[in-house]
Amino acid sequence: MAAASKTVRVTHWVMTVAFLAMLVTGVEIVISHPRFYWGEDGNVYMPALFQLPIPASRGSVPTG
């Protein structure tokens, strides 16, 4: 196996692990706060642009 082929395999696996890590953390963020805001500011006192119909994992986030 050529050196370039090994490098390609290693970089593909690194990208796969990085993608899965980002996917998991993104899902954790959405579960933690399932409301989406428009603009630079967003908190629990502002109306959400839309929200996912899932309960928040924190009791301090009003979701409904």
Pair 55, 43: CB distance under 8 Å: no
Residue 64: band (very low, low, confident or very high) from pLDDT cuts 50, 70, 90: low
Instruction: Tell me the pLDDT tens digit for each residue of 34-47.
Output: 778 877 777 777 78
Cα atoms in the 13 Å half-sphere on the side-chain side of 60: 1
Cα gap 34→7, rounded to integer Å = 39
Pair 54, 31: CB distance under 8 Å: yes
Rounded to 5, what percent of the chain is helix, strand, coil?
45, 5, 45
Output the pLDDT for position 18.
98
pTM of the full structure: 0.64
Output the pLDDT for position 11.
96
